């Protein structure tokens, strides 16, 4: 018996040492929980979602539920307004509130399509859900006879108008082969931190946007009114451009340059994908520069300009004009030749004139001999 006790003590010590030797690693992820498991119709369900990751820049996720049982938000959207990495936090917590509409033995609230952006990467997280019960309110029981009351004429109650569906007035916008829907009103949409609501126009329609000088953002979704996101909106050009922020030592927002912006010489139009969004860019046809794309962006000093984006490192560098020297071969026209140069430059003409010269010399010599002979005869 003593031997058995001693073995158990030894085993316990080893197990404790093993537990203490394990390093605790903080992993990225999120938790979902409701403030209760059962609710009455007409009450409020509070669901708390906490995201954990090192130095969180932003979070977005879709929220699914039975709209016949619950009424509440259909997405989670968060964007840090910190201007440097030191101000970023490792957790973000939000509380979603739902109003119960009718009873259900079990209704589920699902968090899906989770994307968490950090200072170093974008993380896709899996689906999680929480299930609650909604009960019809129990009528109060009374044992005493209620007192007789004088009947009164009931006051008419105003009918409760249903909340308008933003998709009823949504405007279809086409991006190549993709169709998105522009919300004229930001009903139920959370305004990003640092922005405020403003008014604009799209065509002949009034448009509610969020603004932070010099940016104006419009809200677009798919045809189901889901997977919504803010897009850069240029009222003058009546155009939209993906609203993407990247943070290195500075924060950049990509823009579509106006017609008055001149693309540097030597660059040809191309495209690049950042955070699953396709952006317009420009590149030089040079294998040594294949990993660099020229993009037009706004920095955190509200300055617009061209930046070189490194597709491998994910970094940005302000673009400076380069002087490209191109060696051009110019064909030099020969100087005009004299008649003598043209004659002796042509071997055929040179032979002819040489023969004529010899013939003329022979004739001259013969003429001289004839003259001398005649002179002697005359004497």
Q: DSSP readout, 48-82?
A: EEEEEEEEEEEEEEEEE--TTTEE--SEEEEE---
> Distance between CA 244 and CA 230 in Å, rounded?
9
What pLDDT digit, counting tens, does each position of 115-152 carry?
999 988 989 999 999 999 999 877 666 666 666 777 77
What pLDDT digit, counting tens, does each position of 248-269 carry?
667 888 888 888 888 998 899 9
Which comes out higher in pLDDT, residue 33 or 350? 33
Contact present, 194 and 210 (Cβ < 8 Å) = no
Which residues on neighbouring strands pair with residue 61, listed in sequence order? 76
**Closest to 47 measured CA to CA, from 32, 64, 37:** 32
Which comes out higher in pLDDT, residue 254 or 114? 114
Q: How much of the chain is in helix, strand and coil states, percent to nearest 5?
A: 20, 40, 40
> Distance between CA 308 and CA 292 in Å, rounded?
6
Q: Average pLDDT for residues 335-352, to the nearest whole number?
A: 63
Contact present, 302 and 213 (Cβ < 8 Å) = yes
Whether the ω angle into residue 213 lies within 30 degrees of 0, i.e. cis, is: no
Q: Average pLDDT for residues 179-204, to the nearest whole number?
A: 91
25 pLDDT band (50/70/90 cuts)?
very low
pLDDT computed for residue 5 by the predictor: 52
Pick the CATH number of 28-135 from 1.10.357.10, 2.60.40.680, 3.20.20.70, 3.60.10.10: 2.60.40.680
Residue 260's H or E segment, with its range, is none
Contact present, 253 and 243 (Cβ < 8 Å) = yes
Sketch the domain layout of the chain as residue ranges.
28-135, 165-243, 245-326
> Distance between CA 241 and CA 262 in Å, rounded?
19
Contact present, 51 and 163 (Cβ < 8 Å) = no
pLDDT computed for residue 276 by the predictor: 82
pTM for this predicted structure: 0.37
Across 4-18, 44-58, 214-228, 261-275, least confident range: 4-18
Q: Average pLDDT for residues 271-300, to the nearest whole number?
A: 88
| Angle, CA of 278, 281 and 284, to the nearest 5° | 135
């Amino acid at each position: 018996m003593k031997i058995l006790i001693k073995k158990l003590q030894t085993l316990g010590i080893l197990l404790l040492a093993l537990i203490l030797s394990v390093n605790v690693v903080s992993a990225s992820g999120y938790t979902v929980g409701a403030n209760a498991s059962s609710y009455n119709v007409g009450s409020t369900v509070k669901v708390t979602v906490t995201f954990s990751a090192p130095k969180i820049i932003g979070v977005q996720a879709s929220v699914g539920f039975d709209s016949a049982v619950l009424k509440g938000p259909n997405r989670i959207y968060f964007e840090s307004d910190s201007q440097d990495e030191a101000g970023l936090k490792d957790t973000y917590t939000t509380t979603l509130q739902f109003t119960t509409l009718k009873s259900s033995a079990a209704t589920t609230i699902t968090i899906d399509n989770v994307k968490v952006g950090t200072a170093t990467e974008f993380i896709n997280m899996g689906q999680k859900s929480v299930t609650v019960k909604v009960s019809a309110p129990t009528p109060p029981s009374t044992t005493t006879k209620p007192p007789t009351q004088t009947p009164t004429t009931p006051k008419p109650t105003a009918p409760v108008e249903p909340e308008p569906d933003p998709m009823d007035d949504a405007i279809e916008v086409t991006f190549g082969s993709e169709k998105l829907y522009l919300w004229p009103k930001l009903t139920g949409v959370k305004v990003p931190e640092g922005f405020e609501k403003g008014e604009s126009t799209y065509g002949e329609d009034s448009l509610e946007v969020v603004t932070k000088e010099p940016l104006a953002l419009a809200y677009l979704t798919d045809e189901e009114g889901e997977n919504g996101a803010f897009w850069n909106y240029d009222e003058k050009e009546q155009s939209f451009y993906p609203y993407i922020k990247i943070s290195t030592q500075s924060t950049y927002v990509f823009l579509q340059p106006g017609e008055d912006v001149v693309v540097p010489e030597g660059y040809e139009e191309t495209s690049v994908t950042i955070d699953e969004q396709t952006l317009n860019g420009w590149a030089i046809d040079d294998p040594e520069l294949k990993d660099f794309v020229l993009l037009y962006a706004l920095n955190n000093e509200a300055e617009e300009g061209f930046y070189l984006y490194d597709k491998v490192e994910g970094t940005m560098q302000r673009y400076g004009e380069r002087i490209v020297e191109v060696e051009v071969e110019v064909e030099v026209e020969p100087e005009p030749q004299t008649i003598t140069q043209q004659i002796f430059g042509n071997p055929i003409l040179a032979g002819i004139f040489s023969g004529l010269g010899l013939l003329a010399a022979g004739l001259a010599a013969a003429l001289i001999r004839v003259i001398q002979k005649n002179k002697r005869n005359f004497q």
